[in-house]
Amino acid sequence: MKIDSLIELVQILRKKCPWDRVQTIKSLKNNLIEEAYEFVEAVEENNPAALKEEAGDILFLIIFLIAIMEENGITDFENLLSCTIRKYKEKHPHVFKDKKLKDRDAVIEFWNRAKPDPFKGIPKTLPALSAARIIQERAARLGFDWRSADGPVSKIKEEIEELIASRTDSEAFEEFGDLLFACVNLARHLKIDPEDALRYANKKFVVRFKNVLEELKKMGKDVEKTDLEEMDMIWNQKKQILNIKMELDTLKKGLDKLGITYDKEILQKFNRYLELLYRYRGRVHLLSKNDYNRIAVKHFLASLLAYKIVKGHKMVCDIGAGAGFPSIPLKIFYPGVKFVLFESKKKKAYFLLKLIDELQLKNIVVLNERAEAYKKRVFDLILIRAAGQISKLIKTVNQLLIADGEAIFYKGLKQMKEIDGVQPRLKRRGFKITTKKIFNPINNDPIILVIIKKVCKAPSSRPGV
């Protein structure tokens, strides 16, 4: 079926349908906006059927608008196609001519240089957050920009102070606008689309507040007679339940991508793990505040990047176990491997003991002491995700690791210089060092697994722990 069939349909409707017959370019503008937003919603919901339907609706409206323009002598279909093709060929001389533009940034720079006014072409009807982002992007391309996200963060603090100090409604109006503009600037530096972020926040609020209303209805309470404190308590409870559900969905998606098989029992253990992390929040410093919104990505899945390496080992220790990363996620998948967790801080050690009990994990020990105080060389694998330089921890690794044992350090790309610098020293001490660059299956963030193997001979006795 060709586009001609759709053009013919529009012509028939234009003649025979009372509603279609009276439409104008002006009357259809809101319909086009509405259909565009419905398409965006289909994209965000990852709904193929809705994408197909909404794309069809937009195409229908475009053909309808062209028919009206043709009736008014503005253009016709052939002329519009010809002008559009010519325009986009001129915008792409690196494709249709001999212009050399090496990458995406060079293409964007070429397009910007072609515009004498950097702000020309920004529609006045564009949503304000999107317009602010585009304005800032175009100013940034001309060199007017903060060097890092620290700039807009300071500006936001400044704008908040000015908003608080405002004395009139007009001052407050202006300062609040400046604050929103600064927030958009921060979003841009963090590579976040502010429109998408706010739309997601709106959706999240509606879902959570509906849950509060449903809970109050179950309790037989009138929302208008319920005080804020009680509603806030229910809000936090429901928020935690939703957060855990989202974390588990993220975990399942990541496990599928990593090719790690799991069952209902394993997911129940991770669910309980999340519940305990939330329960102990505020009592014990286990995670940073921001990490509570990305436990599955930053901690569960990051820990499991060493999943294949653990296979075949019998005696594993975790130096500085803290909240149980990376040892507990790995232990859940390797119930038969013995794990020893070193945690010198009493409250964290207590949390680990509680966690192990709640998850009903066997063959795992928590030692409330520093690993360097443990003088037994019994482990064939050491896990080190806690902060600390390899050079400062290698003495501890050496006194714990049996011959041919391995130690895994979780590092980031910024620490490659440290890794390169420590290699000669490790070789002199009888260690072989290899690195594996592995990407987080959800956000694609790289993690460097530094694997140190003890190839020198050493006592291999395994006294009990």
Output DSSP code: residue 119: T
User: Would you state the pLDDT for residue 459?
Assistant: 47
Give ∠ CA 273-258-449 in degrees, rounded to 5.
Answer: 85
Name the range with the highest mean pLDDT among 43-52, 93-102, 149-158: 149-158
Query: What number of other Cβ atoms are within 10 A of residue 16's Cβ?
Result: 9
Kindly state whether residue 296 falls inside one of the protein's structural domains: no
User: Would you state the pLDDT for residue 456?
Assistant: 56
Is it the case that residue 463 has pLDDT exceeding 70?
no
Is it the case that residue 44 has pLDDT exceeding 60?
yes
In SS3 terms, 192-259 reads as CCHHHHHHHHHHHHHHHHHHHHHHHHHCCCCHHHCCHHHHHHHHHHHHHHHHHHHHHHHHHHHHHHHC
The residue with greater pLDDT, 388 or 54, is 54
Is it the case that residue 12 has pLDDT exceeding 90?
yes
Listed residues 174, 189, 204: the one ending a domain: 189
User: Would you state the pLDDT for residue 1?
Assistant: 65
Do 54 and 122 fall into the same domain?
Answer: no
Do 382 and 323 fall into the same domain?
Answer: yes
- Please choose, from the candidates 53, 56, 68, the residue with its C-alpha nearest in 3D space to the C-alpha of residue 11: 68
Is it the case that residue 171 has pLDDT exceeding 70?
yes
The domain tally of the chain equals: 3
User: Would you state the pLDDT for residue 187?
Assistant: 95
Under the banding of pLDDT at 50, 70 and 90, the label for residue 106 is confident
Do 333 and 397 fall into the same domain?
Answer: yes
User: Would you state the pLDDT for residue 458?
Assistant: 45
Under the banding of pLDDT at 50, 70 and 90, the label for residue 465 is low
Is it the case that residue 231 has pLDDT exceeding 70?
yes
Is it the case that residue 273 has pLDDT exceeding 90?
yes
User: Would you state the pLDDT for residue 368?
Assistant: 95
- Domain at 43, CATH number: 1.10.287.1080
Do 319 and 444 fall into the same domain?
Answer: yes
Kindly state whether residue 462 falls inside one of the protein's structural domains: no
Do 50 and 128 fall into the same domain?
Answer: no
Do 53 and 120 fall into the same domain?
Answer: no
Do 152 and 59 fall into the same domain?
Answer: no
Strand runs labelled E in 388-459: 401-411, 431-439, 446-454
Is it the case that residue 113 has pLDDT exceeding 80?
no
Q: How many Cα atoms sit within 13 Å of 237 on the Cβ side? A: 12
The CA–CA distances, whole Å, from 297 to 213, 269, 274, 423 equal 31, 17, 13, 30
Q: What is the mean pLDDT of residues 251-262?
A: 96
Do 328 and 424 fall into the same domain?
Answer: yes
Kindly state whether residue 341 falls inside one of the protein's structural domains: yes
Do 343 and 444 fall into the same domain?
Answer: yes
Do 325 and 431 fall into the same domain?
Answer: yes
Kindly state whether residue 180 falls inside one of the protein's structural domains: yes
Q: Which domain holds residue 63?
A: 3-75
Do 330 and 434 fall into the same domain?
Answer: yes
Q: What is the mean pLDDT of residues 28-53?
A: 90
Distance of CA 293 to the CA centre of its chain: 10
Which tens digits make up the pLDDT trace of 178-198? 999 999 999 999 999 999 999
- Domain at 403, CATH number: 3.40.50.150
Do 123 and 68 fall into the same domain?
Answer: no
Kindly state whether residue 278 falls inside one of the protein's structural domains: no
Kindly state whether residue 59 falls inside one of the protein's structural domains: yes
Name the range with the highest mean pLDDT among 32-46, 96-110, 203-217, 347-361: 347-361
Q: What is the mean pLDDT of residues 399-426?
A: 85
